[in-house]
Amino acid sequence: MTLPSDMDSREFSKFREREDGQCAVAVDLGNADVSTGGGGGGDATYRSPEDFTVAYTSAETITLSGLPYTPTTVQFVSVKVQVSADKAVTYSPTGSAFSYAAGVLTVAGATFAATDEYVVTVIGPDKAYTAVTTSNRNTETDPLSAQHTPVCLVDTTNISAATHYYPSATGGTMDGYKDISATGKFIDADGTLTLTLEVSNDEDAATADFNAIKFHDDDSLVDAEVASLTVTNGTLLITASKANLNYRRYRWVVVASGATNTVILYERKKAL
């Protein structure tokens, strides 16, 4: 590490080289000596209102909520109070006695008011580093494992004697998804209900040529690739799926021979 010319040896002593080669910085907080930048070298400063919320409690107390850890008194750095549009007052542990317990921060001599806005700064555990496991934390935004869409395609009685498409005649998109499944029930006492699955990669959904493909009947008594599921004069429970449905659009097709029936289809698409 190179010491800047304008930095004296006392300031240099604040920098510490860790075993892994990263730099840690000791910050003098008046009545606290807290190292930041340790571990993963991430952010260890928590500040309201972004990281937690602060509410007025009394002239000398404010209540903190939403902090992901329980701070101790010595970890508080400052309390900035916006008392009016153009005036702020900042309290620090060097000038005022801070004490914290059970979510309530007391600042001796403060004159908080209910209409004040607060920016409370407190040091805590590194946001990106877990000291106990000596590991960096990585958070994935909108992970694939969370990308799944359950939807009720149809839950009705007495669909007409015709061909019906779900979610629509122009199909649903598989963009962003990999697998699809459908469960439901067909009941027809005097006719036939048939379920098939059609797909297309055509860019124009309105004129796309959909073609039927096989899907898997997951029913424990079947467990096989099928071209369709059919019930005649009876009840059929549906558990159909298609893994890696690598097509642009798809549509479930229900053909009803009569107009007295029960048709239920619940669909789930997932990305992972």
Is residue 184 within 8 Å of 266, Cβ to Cβ? yes
- Asked if 236 is part of the footprint of other proteins (rule: CB under 8 A), the reply reads no
Nearest distance, CB of residue 189 and other proteins, angstroms: 5
Nearest distance, CB of residue 194 and other proteins, angstroms: 17
Nearest distance, CB of residue 155 and other proteins, angstroms: 7
Binding mask 154-193 for other proteins (x = CB under 8 A): -xxxx----------------------------x-xx---
The site for other proteins, by CB under 8 A, has a size of: 11
91 CA to centre of own chain: 36
**Residue nearer to other proteins on the CB measure, 90 or 156:** 156
**Residue nearer to other proteins on the CB measure, 61 or 262:** 262
Residues 6+ apart with CB under 8 A from 23: 1, 15, 16, 17, 37, 41
Is residue 147 within 8 Å of 268, Cβ to Cβ? no
Residues 6+ apart with CB under 8 A from 141: none
Interface stretch with other proteins, choices 13-21, 93-101, 117-125, 255-263 (CB under 8 A): 255-263
CA-angle at 21, arms to 15 and 26, nearest 5°: 20
Six-digit token string for 80:
């900035």
- Footprint on this chain of other proteins (rule: CB under 8 A): 155-158, 187, 189-190, 235, 260-262
